[in-house]
């Protein structure tokens, strides 16, 4: 009987861990999902505010992704998304956060990173990306929330899409 209780307890703990992971991780890319981003980024942003440290948020939207799915199929689109995030994992620091928040939309949270640093990260990530993308950057101020930063980065991203079309890299994408 004691062995059965221990076994059930171990299985339950493993299931809880699996459920927690499923609730915070995008199953396709392994990046955080929107829920995971909200939890992790809120903690990171609070630490940045508390210590007066810089923090940048980058909003990324893949250019022409619908065309990939329409012409090559959804399996190819899925591989492209997974390859993109795998490439980011190789280049981002351990403390950086990457999240897939929509079909082809991603948010990066870069602690201890100012506008120039975020610009350099975007250029580096775009260099070997498997597809072109447009990015908008917002740098945290003392009153910013994750939502306000994502909104500002998103506005900058779409301003860039309207003014220049598909752009790889951050030139002119930084909003402080």
Would you list the domain boundaries of the chain?
Answer: 2-175
User: Which of 96, 104, 144, 154 is flagged as catalytic?
Assistant: 104
- Who contacts 125 (Cβ-Cβ below 8 Å, separation ≥6)? 87, 88, 91, 92
pLDDT for 165 equals 52
Q: Model pTM greater than 0.85?
A: no
Q: What is the pLDDT of residues 4-63, one digit of tens each?
A: 555 555 555 554 455 455 589 999 999 999 999 999 999 999 999 999 999 999 999 999
> How deeply is 23 buried, as exposed, middle or buried, from its count of CB atoms within 10 A (0-12, 13-18, 19+)?
exposed
Q: What are the pLDDT digits (tens) for 87-113?
A: 999 999 999 999 999 999 999 999 999
- Specify whether 104 is catalytic: yes
Burial class of residue 130 in the structure, from the number of CB atoms within 10 Å of its CB (0-12 exposed, 13-18 middle, 19+ buried): middle
The sign one gets for the Cα dihedral 83, 84, 85, 89 is positive
Name the average pLDDT for the chain.
86
CA 172: distance to chain centroid? 20
CA distance 170 to 121: 9
Indicate if the pLDDT at residue 167 is higher than 50.
no
* CATH top-level class of 2-175: alpha beta
């Amino acid at each position: 009987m004691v062995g059965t209780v221990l076994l059930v307890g171990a299985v339950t703990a493993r299931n809880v861990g699996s459920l927690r992971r499923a609730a915070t991780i995008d199953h396709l890319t392994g990046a955080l999902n929107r829920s995971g981003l909200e939890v992790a980024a809120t903690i990171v942003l609070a630490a940045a505010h508390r210590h007066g440290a810089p923090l940048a948020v980058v909003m990324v939207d893949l250019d022409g992704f619908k065309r990939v799915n329409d012409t090559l199929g959804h399996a190819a689109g899925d591989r492209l998304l997974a390859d993109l995030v795998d490439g980011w994992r190789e280049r981002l620091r351990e403390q950086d956060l990457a999240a897939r928040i929509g079909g082809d939309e991603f948010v990066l949270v870069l602690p201890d990173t100012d506008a120039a640093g975020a610009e350099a990260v975007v250029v580096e990530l775009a260099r070997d990306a498997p597809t072109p993308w447009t990015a908008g950057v917002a740098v945290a101020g003392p009153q910013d929330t994750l939502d306000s930063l994502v909104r500002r980065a998103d506005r900058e991203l779409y301003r860039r899409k309207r003014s220049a079309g598909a752009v790889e890299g951050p030139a002119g994408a930084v909003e402080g």
